[in-house]
Amino acid sequence: MVDYYKQADVSPIGKDRRNHYSYEIGKDLIGEQVTLVGWVHILRDKGKIKFLILRDERGTTQITIPKKRVPEEVFEISENLKPETAVLVKGEVVATDFLPSGAEVVPSEIRVLNWSETIPIDIVEGKVDIDLDTRLNYRILDLRKPRVNAIFRIQHSLVRFAREFLEQNEFTEIHTPKIVSAATEGGANLFEIKYFEKPAYLAQSPQFYKQLMLLAGFGRVFEIAPVFRAEKHNTPRHMNEYTSFDFEMAWIGGVEDVMKMEEQMLHHAFSKTKQEASRELELLGVDLNVPRLPFKRIKYAEVISLLQDAGKEITLEDDLDPESERMLADIFPEKFGADMVFITHYPMELRPAYTMPSMSDGGMTESFDLTYKGMEITTGGQRIHLYDLLVERFKAKGFDPDRFVFYLDPFKYGAPPHGGLGLGVERLTMQLLGIENIREASLLPRDRDRITP
Ligand code: AMO
C-alpha cells in the first residue's frame, strides 16, 4: 500500500483530537495539557526561541518554543515551518505577562499535517493593502483572514436567528425551483438559459412560487436561496447572484402585518447576533445597534418631499437613485433618530404587477421597502389575491396573461389574502458591518466580470 503521508513528508492526526480552540488558551488552563490544530499564522524567529502564532477557526494563540525547554525534534520542526503550514500542537499551557490572555503554550510535540507553498496574498492583515479584485482572485485564502471570516460568521448568525424567529412563528421552510419559465420582477434583468429545446430562465425571485405555496395550503412560508439578476452594471450594491431571504404569509389584514413580522424578526436576529457573535463583532470593531421597535414608517410621497427640500431634483414617478439613498442615510437619522425606516405606499408604476393597489392612497400600492442606513435592504407588500384584478394588472403592465397561466390560474380557487417580502442577505450584512462593497459580504461573488473562483 502507498503511504501517502510518508510521500508528502507529513503526519496523520491519528488518535489525537483537538481538545481546545486557540481562543480558549487563558489563565484558567495554566498547567493543563492541550491539543490544538490550525495554521501557522505568524512565525517569529529569535534564534534560541521561536514564537508561533497558531490560527484556527475561532482565533489565535501563541506557541512559544524555547530551545532549552522543548524536545530537540520539536525545535527542529519549528525551524522548517512556514506561514499556512497546517499543524497539530500538543503542549502545556503556561503563564505569561506578555499577552493579554495571560497564557501561552509550550509544545511537547508539533506535527506537520500539511505543508503550504508560499502564499500569494498576506493572511496577516494590515501587512500589505491589496485591492479587492486581487483578494477575490484568491478568495479561499482571503477568507482565512480572521476579519474576513468573521463577516460570514456574523452573516450566519443573522440568518440563523431570523430563521429561528420564523420557525417560532409557524413558518414552514420551502425550496422552490430556480429554473423558471417566466419573469417575476419584470423582464429586464433576466438570465436566459439553454434548457433542452425550450427557452428557460434563472429565477429572479421565488415570488410566484412562495405565493402559490400559500394557495397550496401552507399558511406561512419562507425560503433562503440564491436568485439571479442580469444587472448589466457593476455597482457596489448589486451582484448577479445573491441570497434572497423571502417570507410570505396568508390571512393578513393588510401590509402592516408583514412589516410587523419583519421588524420583530430583525429585532430578534440583531439582539441574538449581538450576544452570540460578540467576538466576531468585536474583531471587526462593530458596536451593533439593535434597532428600536417599532421601526419608523413614512410614505413614499413624503420621502420625495424630504428629498426635494434637501435640493434633489426628483418626482413621484422616479425610483430612488443611489444619490437619493445616500441623502436619506443622513436625513433619516437626523429626522427620526433611526437607522431602519420603512418607506410605504409606492406608486403603482414603480411596483410589479402582483402588488395590491392601495384603497386609501389613489395610484399608490400597499407595498414597502425597508431602508437600513439609507440603503434598500427589503422589498415587500400585500399581494393581489383577487383573480380578475390580478389579470387586469398583468395586462396593464404589458404582460400576456396566457404566458402566466401556471401562476394566475390557482387564484381562481379561493386564494387567501396574503403578503410577504424579500430581503437581500448580503445587503443586510454590509449595512450592519459598514462594508462599502457588497462583494465583501458574499463568499464567492458573481458579477459582470467574475464567475470564478
Ligand atoms: P426586489 O427586486 O426589490 O424585490 O429584491 C428584494 C431585495 O433583494 C436585494 N437585491 C439585491 N441584492 C444584491 N444584488 C442585487 N442585484 C439585488 N437586487 C435586489 C435588495 C432588495 O431589497 N419579489 C420581490 C420581493 C417581495 O416583494 O417579496 C423582490 O424580489 O435587498
If asked whether residues 232 and 363 sit together in one domain, one would say yes
Gap from CA of 13 to ligand 1 centroid (Å): 46
Last residue of a domain, one of 63, 97, 114: 114
Q: Can you read off the three cell numbers belonging to residue 115?
A: 505543508
Nearest protein Cα to ligand 1, atom 29: 422
442 lines ligand 1 (CB under 6 A): no
Q: Can you read off the three cell numbers belonging to residue 370?
A: 425597508
Which atom of ligand 1 lies nearest, measured to the CA of 248? 28
Q: Can you read off the three cell numbers belonging to residue 53?
A: 502564532
In single-letter form, the type of residue at position 448 comes to R
Buried b / exposed e over 60-95, threshold 16 CB at 10 Å, is bbbbbbeeeebeeebbebbeebebbbebbbbbbbee
If asked whether residues 285 and 402 sit together in one domain, one would say yes
Residue 125 domain-assigned (yes or no): no
Ligand 1 probe mutation, 214, 222, 244, 430, most atoms within 8 A of CB: 244
Contact between 235 and 215 under an 8 Å Cβ cutoff? The reply is: no
Residue 128 is predicted with a pLDDT of 66
Q: Which residue has the cell 431634483?
A: 313
If asked whether residues 154 and 297 sit together in one domain, one would say yes
Domains held by the chain: number: 2
Contact between 137 and 116 under an 8 Å Cβ cutoff? The reply is: no
If asked whether residues 182 and 317 sit together in one domain, one would say yes
Give the three-state DSSP class for 297: strand
Residue 183 is predicted with a pLDDT of 81
Which atom of ligand 1 lies nearest, measured to the CA of 244? 8
Which atom of ligand 1 lies nearest, measured to the CA of 378? 22
pLDDT tens per residue across span 139-187:
999 999 999 999 999 999 999 999 999 999 999 999 999 999 988 777 7
Instruction: Report, in angstroms and rounded to the nearest whole number, the Rg of the chain calculated over CA atoms.
Output: 27
If asked whether residues 284 and 413 sit together in one domain, one would say yes
Residue 129 domain-assigned (yes or no): no
Domain range spanning residue 216?
141-441
Last residue of a domain, one of 79, 114, 149: 114
User: Would you say residue 93 has pLDDT above 70?
Assistant: yes
Gap from CA of 242 to ligand 1 centroid (Å): 9
If asked whether residues 260 and 373 sit together in one domain, one would say yes
Residue 126 is predicted with a pLDDT of 66
445 lines ligand 1 (CB under 6 A): no
325 lines ligand 1 (CB under 6 A): no
Gap from CA of 39 to ligand 1 centroid (Å): 38
Nearest protein Cα to ligand 1, atom 28: 421
Buried b / exposed e over 371-386, threshold 16 CB at 10 Å, is bbbbbbbbbbbbbbbe
Nearest protein Cα to ligand 1, atom 6: 422
If asked whether residues 215 and 266 sit together in one domain, one would say yes
Residues across the chain? 453
If asked whether residues 221 and 310 sit together in one domain, one would say yes
Ligand 1 probe mutation, 202, 427, 440, 443, most atoms within 8 A of CB: 427
Q: How sure is the predictor about 206, in pLDDT bands with cuts at 50, 70 and 90?
A: very high
Burial of 25 (0-12, 13-18, 19+ CB in 10 A): buried
pLDDT tens per residue across span 323-371:
999 999 999 999 999 999 999 999 999 999 999 999 999 999 999 999 9
In single-letter form, the type of residue at position 255 comes to V
If asked whether residues 52 and 163 sit together in one domain, one would say no
Average pLDDT estimate for 413-418: 98
229 lines ligand 1 (CB under 6 A): yes
377 lines ligand 1 (CB under 6 A): yes
If asked whether residues 105 and 154 sit together in one domain, one would say no
Residue 127 domain-assigned (yes or no): no
Residue 453 domain-assigned (yes or no): no
pLDDT tens per residue across span 20-38:
999 999 999 999 999 999 9
281 lines ligand 1 (CB under 6 A): no
Residue 184 is predicted with a pLDDT of 77
Contact between 61 and 54 under an 8 Å Cβ cutoff? The reply is: yes
CATH code of the domain covering residue 365? 3.30.930.10
Which atom of ligand 1 lies nearest, measured to the CA of 421? 28
Gap from CA of 420 to ligand 1 centroid (Å): 12
* C-alpha 43, offset from chain centre: 33
CATH code of the domain covering residue 42? 2.40.50.140
What whole-number distance in Å separates Cα of residue 294 and Cα of residue 296? Answer: 6
Last residue of a domain, one of 114, 132, 165: 114
Element (H, E) at 42: strand 33-45
Query: What does pLDDT average to over the chain?
Result: 96
Sequence-distant (6+) residues with CB within 8 A of 75 are: 50, 65, 67
Nearest protein Cα to ligand 1, atom 10: 424
Residue 119 domain-assigned (yes or no): no
The alpha helices in 229-378, defined as continuous H runs, are 255-276, 278-283, 300-309, 322-336
Q: How sure is the predictor about 125, in pLDDT bands with cuts at 50, 70 and 90?
A: confident
Q: Can you read off the three cell numbers belonging to residue 198?
A: 425550450
| Peptide bond just before 333 cis, omega within 30 deg | no
What whole-number distance in Å separates Cα of residue 97 and Cα of residue 387? Answer: 74
If asked whether residues 182 and 281 sit together in one domain, one would say yes
Residue 134 domain-assigned (yes or no): no
Residue 233 domain-assigned (yes or no): yes
Give pairs for 160-169: CB < 8 Å, separation 24+: 161/268, 161/269, 161/272, 161/273, 161/276, 162/245, 162/265, 162/266, 162/268, 162/269, 163/222, 163/224, 164/268, 164/272, 165/264, 165/265, 165/268, 165/269, 166/220, 166/222, 166/247, 166/265, 169/220, 169/261
Q: Where are the beta strands (DSSP E) in 118-239?
A: 172-173, 179-180, 192-195, 198-202, 220-228
Which atom of ligand 1 lies nearest, measured to the CA of 424? 31
Sequence-distant (6+) residues with CB within 8 A of 31 are: 92, 93, 94
324 lines ligand 1 (CB under 6 A): no
Q: Can you read off the three cell numbers belonging to residue 447?
A: 458579477
376 lines ligand 1 (CB under 6 A): yes
Residue 379 domain-assigned (yes or no): yes
Element (H, E) at 426: helix 425-433
pLDDT tens per residue across span 229-268:
999 889 999 999 999 999 999 999 999 999 999 999 999 9
183 lines ligand 1 (CB under 6 A): no
If asked whether residues 68 and 147 sit together in one domain, one would say no
Gap from CA of 252 to ligand 1 centroid (Å): 22
What whole-number distance in Å separates Cα of residue 361 and Cα of residue 167? Answer: 34
Residue 182 is predicted with a pLDDT of 84
